[in-house]
Chains A and B, each alone.
Chain A
């Protein structure tokens, strides 16, 4: 059995080189579907709905890329990955891109040889605790049992936070969000820690969300974004600029409602024209159709629409834009110009 693992590792190593060499963009076009790695289920970010159709904020990015490359937002094969399996899946070429609320860190970018193409959500690590526990600050958690997803940056931040505050805790390593939720609700751990957005999304699925509080401390920076393999720059550009197109669309006021009209004929705004392919050759430079960005935006709306529809204040998850507002509105969401 262990031998199989070994040969598996060898095969993985073999595949990764093969995949890096072939050109992911051509592979995706030839295959006709995009293999997109997502979470095993985090409502609001990526989770199958009642009909088994994946939806969510991260799923929106996958669909936008599929629409930009293949012209079909449904041509996506969603591959659920855990915190542990996600990087192997990407490195081995099993998935073309990973959109799984993954934190951009130095070692993942440099040492693990991945390419973060941007940030679609600025997050930070928080703690969820039952109100009955009477805890008002994470620093009160001395001696607490903490559920934490294994293989994540949260695991390391958690150790650092408790160490620097000189308090102790007992970690309960869990594999998936669902498992964490189950153990937390059963009281097997006092508090559950992960990205604050993830906690909000998890709490939204509780029977009595009001019985649980997010502690005020945000103990880390968690810039989440989609990533691809290092070394395939053409494909990296496609994913990066698809994300940028969604962001620029919000900035320019291009929405899924008015996009048909704006794309029908050149408008007065040259940047909109370049974005939507009614002027310039931006699509061709990426190796895509001229209307690639239009297809991407039409798939699920611009960045703001995706946010509001999946995790915004009117959804059960109820996240405010906060840091994730447009730079023009005091947030950090910013795209380089389409020029």
Chain B
């Protein structure tokens, strides 16, 4: 029988806060917290006294008053009599739009360039190295301006499309590339539901059908897996899946009476169809190729982190190079690629605040630009901006971390 002796229960004395390693770290942490709180308190006091001295106050009332200015790209209903808060929401949506588009295309550019940079083809790998070095070593603001300037200088104005012998013509008579943006045909419904047969509900129906198709194909695939497990023969699911994807959607679109609204020259500009504004294109493209160059390096690092033995082993099993990349190397490389990729997505979102350089109405341009300027509420607007970017960045971070957890190496 062994006796268990309790550790000595010495009485607590104040000097132990410094001398005892059990408490010392708490002491310093508490001190640091107090200093931080004092700093914040000082900043707060400083702001409030100085504002009071200048006769100003912190008030968010301006958010409810009419903005008074117009915005060229609005994803929701907005006019100059809408409130500043609504103008801010328009800006938020524009920021999210360009950030989302740029994240997608930057990933595509990055993965392509990163993989191709490792190509055995000298020309291809050097071209990609050139792309990476050129684009990531010139500030993104410069790229935004370069692309925008080239766009407005090279593409014709809408006026050039006018007349019997126009200087410029539309691509296939469908798409017009002008220096104000690209006008493409837009879908609309002739037999749809909702206001004027063209409400958002129609799109919800279409999305619903696509979601249903998605789950149906999942079921087909899992059934095929079960068959394969049981019999060793995998039934061909390609045609079934294609049919499940396309037939219901085509049927629904036909039932709703889908038509395409083709842009045509009306007055000063093209009317009808969908307009993708020049500033959006410039910002989107610049953010994509700039960040794509960084992502390419992440991808290259991730691929090179996968031991060569893996490739050789896959090759020995008879896999073709494309399958080796997609089935063996990339899945393992992802756990190295994803964490820095999160940073790149955050960078894209924050860099989208350079939008004002080309007159794109993002949140920095509406709330942090025009509203701030017209109301003079600088501190309030900047605080709101900080809150917005912080929230968005943390959200992106959270979702990407969830994804990262799902692809990282499972240690069992």
Chain A residues in contact with chain B, CB under 8 A? 1-3, 5-7, 9-10, 12-14, 16-17, 20-21, 83-84, 87-88, 91, 107-108, 111-113, 132-133, 141-145, 150-151, 155-156, 158-160, 162-163, 169-175, 182-183, 186-190, 230-231
Contacts and interface: CB of A to CB of B under 8 A. Distances in A.
B71 A163 contact: no
Contact of B72 (A16, A171, A231): A171
A175 B374 CA distance: 14
B232 to A, nearest CB: 58
B374 A156 contact: yes
23 contacts: A5-B386, A6-B382, A6-B383, A6-B386, A10-B43, A13-B46, A87-B376, A91-B54, A113-B54, A132-B159, A151-B373, A159-B69, A162-B70, A170-B269, A171-B70, A173-B359, A173-B369, A186-B157, A186-B179, A187-B152, A188-B157, A188-B179, A231-B55
Contacts of A173: 72, 356, 359, 361, 365, 369-370
Q: Chain B interface secondary structure, helix, strand, loop or mixed? A: helix
Contacts, number: 137
A113 B382 contact: no
B55 A156 contact: no
A20 B69 CA distance: 32
A295 to B, nearest CB: 32
B378 A12 contact: yes
A188 B278 contact: yes
Contacts of A231: 54-55
A190 B376 contact: no
Interface string B226-262: 0000000000000000000000000000000000000
B47 interface: yes
Interface of B: 43, 46-47, 49-51, 53-56, 68-72, 79-81, 149, 152-153, 156-157, 159, 179-180, 266-269, 271, 278, 350, 356-357, 359, 361, 365, 369-370, 373-376, 378-379, 382-383, 385-386, 389-390
Given A13-B46, A133-B159, A171-B70, 8 more contacts: A1-B350, A5-B385, A13-B51, A14-B50, A83-B373, A111-B375, A150-B370, A163-B79
Q: What are the 3 closest A-B residue pairs judged by CB atoms, nearest first?
A: A187-B157, A151-B373, A159-B80
Given A111-B376, A174-B359, A155 B179 contact: no
A1 B353 CA distance: 12
A306 B293 CA distance: 54
B370 A13 contact: no
Contacts of B365: 150, 173
B363 to A, nearest CB: 12
Given A174-B359, A188-B152, A5 B373 contact: no
Contacts of A9: 378-379, 382
Contacts of A83: 373
Contacts of B53: 17, 20-21
A108 B382 CA distance: 19
A139 to B, nearest CB: 13
B6 to A, nearest CB: 49
Contacts of A190: 268
B373 A107 contact: no
A18 to B, nearest CB: 8
Contact of A160 (B71, B80, B376): B80
Contacts of B269: 143-145, 170
Contact of B379 (A13, A141, A156, A162): A13
Contacts of B156: 187
Contacts of A133: 159, 268
A2 B374 CA distance: 22
A143 B46 contact: no
Nearest to A15: B50
B365 to A, nearest CB: 7
B152 A87 contact: no
A158 B267 CA distance: 19
A199 B5 CA distance: 92
Contacts of A108: 376
Contacts of A159: 68-70, 80
A107 B66 CA distance: 14
A151 B370 contact: yes
Nearest to B159: A187
Contacts of B382: 5-6, 9
A230 B81 CA distance: 30
B68 A17 contact: no
Contacts of B385: 2, 5
B58 to A, nearest CB: 10
B243 to A, nearest CB: 44
A183 B180 CA distance: 10
A111 B72 CA distance: 28
Contacts of B81: 163
A190 B179 CA distance: 12
Contacts of A162: 70
Contacts of A88: 378
B374 A143 contact: no
A188 B383 CA distance: 34
A231 B56 CA distance: 12
Contacts of B68: 156, 159-160
Nearest to A108: B376
B267 A156 contact: no
A84 B268 CA distance: 29
A136 to B, nearest CB: 14
Contacts of B51: 13
Nearest to B390: A2
B80 A14 contact: no
B80 to A, nearest CB: 4
Contacts of B376: 87, 107-108, 111-112
Given A2-B389, A14-B46, A145-B180, A170 B152 contact: no
B370 A188 contact: no
A183 B181 CA distance: 13
Contacts of A6: 382-383, 386
A10 to B, nearest CB: 5
